[in-house]
Structure 1
């Protein structure tokens, strides 16, 4: 059976932290699907098509990585594509508590799902999409915090 992991998020924008988590997990799975969640009630700061383009540029050299968007529950998306693993990055203790709760609820909804946590490397811990959006909105340079493959887009 193919080991498929889903790495869900809004990636608004993708960060070096996201990139690091995926690249460090790549040998654990046969395929990693980066799933860009959409919510009609909460549009992203950056357009969905632009976020998907940035993710594709970031991982263009990796055949095991696929990028898709989805709506609804992540667990339903996992069922639809036959994924048995969720990949999540953990930056802080607060992240862990939040992610643990989600993982436990996902397990209750889909018994066969397992959540795999990858700790962020220390130098990337302070980077978050929320902070990057704020820096960007106020004219700051976010290039040090995003994947090199997309520097030309900012």
Structure 2
């Protein structure tokens, strides 16, 4: 089975994230959305709430599974049988960062990284921007995917 793992904190899971998943679905037999649990990042939404919300979004899509993991992302790939990792690129700065990570990940594990450029309409959308807008009471519905997992 050709599996790709899409890692991130997904706090929250945005329309940009959903776009990447939808675009990669035809290319792989299985897409694993992997919520990284990082003790150094402050996450407002608890991991299980993010798991439930993303699982609800993809309840009708058998090719998508959603997990949580801690530790190295390449170890999560290996545990899920994924030979590929999906990363989104919004800017040149993202590209440089992701390229370096991809090189290290390939070197230490053989895992290949597929970089997809974000669609232009989502280039400014990030989880951190959405969280900040929410903190100031702004409506962020246009940045969150429609569906049962939407808060």
Q: TM-score, normalised by structure 2?
A: 0.95
Partner SS state of residue 125, structure 2: coil
Q: Determine whether 1:124 maps to 2:126.
A: no
Q: Is the 8 A contact 1:143 1:151 kept in 2?
A: no
Aligned match for 2:145, one of 144, 147, 151: 147
**How far apart are 1:17 and its partner, in Å?**
0.2
Deviation at 1:81, TM superposition (A): 2.0
- Provide structure 1 residue ranges, at least 5 long, that are not aligned to the other structure: none
Q: What does residue 64 of structure 1 align with?
A: 63
**Contact 2:55 / 2:149 at 8 angstroms: preserved in 1?**
no
Structure 1 runs of 4+ with >3 Å offset: none
Spell out the pairing of 1:19-98 with structure 2 (5 A cutoff): 19-98=18-97
Q: Is the 8 A contact 1:19 1:58 kept in 2?
A: no
Matched residue SS, 2:115 = strand
Q: Which runs of 5+ in 2 are unaligned?
A: none
Compared with structure 1, are the counterparts of its residues 152 and 106 closer, same or farther at alpha carbon in structure 2 (3 Å cutoff)? closer
Contact 1:5 1:32 in 2 (8 A): yes
- The separation in 1 between residues aligned to 2:148 and 2:136, in whole angstroms, is 20
Between 1:18-27 and 1:116-125, the stretch displaced more is 116-125
- What root-mean-square deviation, in Å, do the aligned CA atoms of Structure 1 and Structure 2 show? 1.3
Residue 103 of structure 1: aligned partner: 102
Report the Cα offset of residue 117 of structure 1. 1.1
Q: Deviations over 1:106-143 (max 9, x none)?
A: 011112x1111111111111000000000001111110
